[in-house]
Structure 1
Amino acid sequence: MSEGAAAALSRWLEEERALAGASGHTIAAYRRDVSAFLGFMALHRGGPMGVPAIADVTIADMRAFLAAERGRGLSSRSLARRLSAIKSFCRWLAEREGVEPTAILAARAPKFRKTLPRPLSEEAAGQLIDTVELQARDCWQAARDVAVVTLLYGCGLRISEALSLTGRDAPLPEVLRIFGKGGRERLVPVLPAARLAVQDYLSLSPWPKEGDGPLFRGARGGPLSPRQVQKATEAARMQLGLPSSATPHALRHSFATHLLAAGGDLRAIQELLGHASLSTTEGYTAVDESRLMRIYEAAHPRA
C-alpha cells in the first residue's frame, strides 16, 4: 500500500482503539484484514493502493478478492469478518477523505450458519472444574487453573476478562467491576466459591501479589496465557469423556443457560454477560422448548 494509505490505516486504527475501545487483539486483526485486502488489490490491479485508488475498485475486483480468499481456505465466517473490517475502514475513508468506495461497500459477505453454543450440564460443569485441578504438576498451578475456570462458570466471565484481573482486584469483592468488549463496563456478583478459589490460589502461589501485576501468573511469573487454560480444560475434558465443545468458553455459555433455566431474567443475564444485544444473549442460552414456553407465558399471561 502507499504511504498515504498506510497513514490512513494507522489513523483509523488509533480512532478504533481510542474512541470505540477496541482491544489490542481486535486492532491487530483489523490491521491484518485491511492490509491483506490492499496487498491483494495492489497485485491484482498492478500498482500500489493509495487512498484515491480505493475508490476505483470495481465489483469485478471485489469478486476476485473474495474468490482468492476462499481459494486460500478462508471460511465463510472468517471472510465475512474480514470484509466487515474492510468496509469499516472504507466508510471511515469516505467520511475523512471524501472517497467513494461504492463497489467495496456493496460487496456481500458470504452467508454462514451460526453455530449454536453447546453448554454443559450442571453436573458436567462441576466435574470439569474438579478435574482441571488434576492436570497441573504443581499444587499452586492446579489451584490457579481451578480459580480461573470457576470464574468463567460462576461469574460468566470471558477468559480474557478473567486473565485481565490484577493483584489490585484481590481479594475478590462480592461485586466485581469488569470492562468487557468495546470497553463496556458491568458489575458482576462473585460467588463465595469463586472468591475462595482465588484465595486458595493466592495462598499457594510462589509469586507475590502486585497491584498492577497480573492476578493469574504462568509458571515463570509472567501473565497466564489463555492457551494454558485451554490445554488444562482439554485434558480434563478428555479424561471425563466430554465432547470437544466442552471448552473454557462453554463454561460461560453454561453460566447463562443454567441461570435462565433456574428462572433468571434474560435482560439481567444480558447485563451480567456484558452483551450489547439481547439476541446475542439468546444465542448463549440453551433450554428446552417447554422451559421457553413457561418463560413466555409468565411474561405474557393470558387474559
Structure 2
Amino acid sequence: MTPLRLRMKEDMQVRNLSPHTQGSYLLQVSLFARHFEQSPALLGPEDVRSYQIYLANEKKLAPKSIHVAVAALRFLYRTTLGRDWDFDRSIPCPKAPKQLPVVLSPEEVLHFLGCVESLMHRTILTTCYAAGLRISEATHLKCRGAIDRQRMVLRVEQGKGQKDRYVMLSPRLLETLTSYWRVTRPTDWMFPGASSDQPITRDAVGNACKRAHGRSGLSKPVTPHSLRHAFAVHLLEAGTDVRTIQLLLGHRSLATTAQYLRIATNKVCGTTSPLELLPHPTSRVAPPPAPEHF
C-alpha cells in the first residue's frame, strides 16, 4: 500500500465513512491512477477533466457512476492532498437525469417472491419489501436485538449515514422470520454468508434476484431496491402520510420521500381533473328548418 493510499484510508477512517464508501473511493482513485500510470499527487485539474471526458465518452458510464468517481477524487484532492482548488470548476459533477423508478404492483411483488427458490433469499427479499429496508440494512440484521416482539419493530443498526432506526415489523413478516429461523437456526447474523461469522453479501442477494426475475417472466426490472420503492409507494397509496414513510425509509430529507408522490397512481390518477369541475354547457336549441318552396 502506497503512503498516499494509506493516508487517504486513514482520512476516511477518522471521518467515520462507512466501509463500503471507503472501498468504493479507494477503487475509484486506483482506477484514476492506473489510467495515467502516475501518482494522483502529480496530476492536476486538466488531468481530472481529461479523465471525466474519458469516463463519459469512452467508458460510456452513467452520470450516477461518474458521481462516485467525482466524490472520490474530491475527497482525495480536498482532504488528503489539501489542494485549494475551486472544486465546482476543477471536478464538476455531471447533471443526472431525474428518472422515476418502475414500481411493481402488490400482485407482481407476490408473484416475484414466489419465484425465489432459496428460503434465505426469499426471506431477505420479503424483509426488504415488508419493512422498506435497503439491501445493505437487511443483510446486516442480527439474530439478537433486531426483532422486538413486544413493540413489533425491527431495529436497523447503522443504516445509511451510520444511523440507527426502528422500522415496522408486521405480524406476517414476524411469522416469516420465525419460520425461517426454525429451519436455518442462524446464530449471529440473521442471514449468514458462506462463512457463518459474516453476513450474506449484497451481490449474492442481487444474483438470486436476477434468477428469480428470469423465472417470473415480469417485464418490469426487479432489484432488491425495487422492493423498497414498492414498499413506499404501496404505503402511500394506502393512505400513509409522507412524514411517516420518511421515518420508515430513513430519509434525511422529506423532499426525497415526496418524490414518491409522483409515482403513486391513486394520488395522481385519482385526482379529479379540473375539466370535470366545469359546468356542463346548456344544450343549444336547433334553429327551425328553412321552409321548402319546391
TM-score band w.r.t. shorter chain:
0.7 to 0.9
CA distance in 2, matches of 1:49, 1:219: 37
The two structures, once aligned, show a CA RMSD in angstroms of: 2.9
CA distance in 1, matches of 2:136, 2:121: 14
Is the radius of gyration larger for structure 1 or structure 2? 2
CA distance in 2, matches of 1:232, 1:184: 28
Q: Which consecutive unaligned segments of at least 5 residues does structure 2 have?
A: 272-294
Alignment of 1:48-197 (within 5 A): 48-50=39-41, 53=42, 57-58=44-45, 60-70=46-56, 71-93=58-80, 97=82, 99-102=83-86, 106-132=90-116, 135-136=117-118, 142=119, 144-169=120-145, 172-173=148-149, 174-178=152-156, 179-197=158-176
CA distance in 2, matches of 1:62, 1:219: 39
Partner letter of residue 23 of structure 2?
Answer: A
What CA deviation, in whole Å up to 9, does each residue of 1:73-128 have, x standing for no partner? 4333211221122113333247xx4x313367533222331332111101111222
1:195–1:65 CA distance, 2 compared to 1 (3 A): same
Q: Would you say the 8 A contact 1:12–1:89 is kept in 2?
A: no
1:204 aligns with 2:204: no
Q: Would you say the 8 A contact 2:191–2:199 is kept in 1?
A: yes
CA distance in 2, matches of 1:195, 1:103: 48
CA distance in 2, matches of 1:193, 1:80: 39
Residue 28 of structure 1 aligns with which residue?
A: 23
1:186–1:220 CA distance, 2 compared to 1 (3 A): closer
CA distance in 2, matches of 1:219, 1:103: 42
SS in 1 for 2:115: helix
Partner letter of residue 153 of structure 2?
Answer: V
Q: CA deviation at 1:148?
A: 1.2
SS in 2 for 1:176: strand
1:227 aligns with 2:227: no
SS in 2 for 1:62: helix
SS in 1 for 2:66: helix
Residue 265 of structure 2 aligns with which residue?
A: 288
CA distance in 2, matches of 1:120, 1:234: 15
1:239 aligns with 2:215: yes
Q: CA deviation at 1:284?
A: 4.7
Partner letter of residue 150 of structure 1?
Answer: T
State the TM-score, normalized to the length of structure 2.
Answer: 0.78
Q: Alignment length, in residue pairs?
A: 266
CA distance in 2, matches of 1:172, 1:275: 22
Deviates more, 1:265-274 or 1:80-89: 80-89
